[in-house]
Every structure is written in structure tokens, then in C-alpha cells.
Amino acid sequence: MARLLLVAPPGGGKGTQGQRLGADYGVPYISSGELLRDHVAGATPIGRRVRPYLDEGRLVPDALVAELVHERLTTPRPLGGFVLDGFPRNLEQARLADTWEGGGIRLSTVVHLRVADEEVIRRVRERAKTGGRSDDTLSTLRRRLEVYRKATEPLIGLYRDRGVLVEVDGGGGIDEVAARVRQALL
């Protein structure tokens, strides 16, 4: 069963490619950002708590997001396969996920989509024009990119060392990238 994780900068195409991969493999696509935004939209206690973090482009507390994702992966019953987008997002979250019962998160492959900053900024600007997300402002994007470099990129070395990393050029059109991802996963 595919147990995939997508790692990419904000606007790097994790959502778009992740949904396609989920459909390809017949497994659920799960985005930590979406789980969090659902809580914000529903104005739940968790939503009220995490909203400032999302608005400012900072990471929400590790234990909170780990718990949300864990619940999604295990309730009502454990998922055999999945495509994960956005969790783990730093080394501490990876450590937490490794302690989950049943041998941890057990990722089969981690796909790193490499996208240049200029392309990320261009894409997010486009998304903002068409209604997009409330955190798609230039200042928030700068912060998200900074957080990505500092907190998330170290995951790439971790998964490379574990022998599960696949590197894909994430630049260009959606179909072009999807074809590269498929090729890399063969």
C-alpha cells in the first residue's frame, strides 16, 4: 500500500499533485493544512486556537497537528495507504510520528518537489487573484517560505538517509509535473 508524503515549498503543488496521486493509488489524500483550515472555517475550539498561526504563516504547535493527523489516519479504523501533504513538517513532528503505535507512520516514499522561490511567488500571486486562501498574501508567503527553509527542509536529509526519498523537479505545468512524479514512483 502506498504511504506517501509530499514535501514542497508553499505553492509548490503538494495539494494539486497529492490529490492526483491519491486518485491514482486509490488512497485518501490528507492535507494537514486542510484539516486545520476546516477547523478554522467551523470556528471550533481548535480552529480558534490555530487561526493566528495560519494567518501569520507560522507552524501551529507540533503536538496539536500531530494529534489531528493521527486521528485522521486511525479513526474510525487505521488507513492502509494514504497520500500525506504537510505533515510531518519539521523534525520534531517526524519524531512524534515515529512513536505512534503500530511502528510509527511507516512512510513508503517521500516525494520532494523542488520549486524555485520565484515560481512559488508567481503561483501564489495567481492563486490569490482567483479568491485563493486568506494566507496567500506576500508577507505571509515570505514567512511560510522562511519556515519551510528552516524547519521543513531538514526533513529531506532525514528521509534521504532512510532511503525513502525521491526528488522531482516541481517546476512547470501541472501535467508535466504529474508525469515526472509518476515516473519517479515507478
Scanning 20-28, 29-37, 71-79, 164-172 for contacts with ligand ADP by CB under 6 A, the matching segment is: 29-37
Smallest gap from Cβ 23 to ligand ADP, in A, equals 19
Residue type, 85: D
Phi, psi of 163 (to 5 degrees): 80, 20
C-alpha cell at 109: 516514499
Q: Dihedral, CA atoms, 181, 152, 79, 22, nearest 10 degrees?
A: -30
C-alpha cell at 38: 476546516
Rounded CA gap, 130 and 97, in Å? 35
Binding-site size, ligand ADP (CB under 6 A): 18
Smallest gap from Cβ 43 to ligand ADP, in A, equals 17
Rounded CA gap, 22 and 14, in Å? 11
Give the Å distances, CA to CA, from 132 to 22, 31, 123, 135, 162: 22, 16, 11, 9, 36
53 binds ligand ADP, rule: CB under 6 A: yes
Out of 21, 36, 111, 181, point to the residue binding ligand ADP (CB under 6 A): 36
Smallest gap from Cβ 109 to ligand ADP, in A, equals 18
Contacts to ligand ADP from residues 60-89, by CB under 6 A = 60, 65, 86-87, 89
Smallest gap from Cβ 139 to ligand ADP, in A, equals 13
20 binds ligand ADP, rule: CB under 6 A: no
Residues that bind ligand ADP (CB under 6 A): 10-11, 31-33, 36, 53-54, 57-60, 65, 86-87, 89, 93, 144
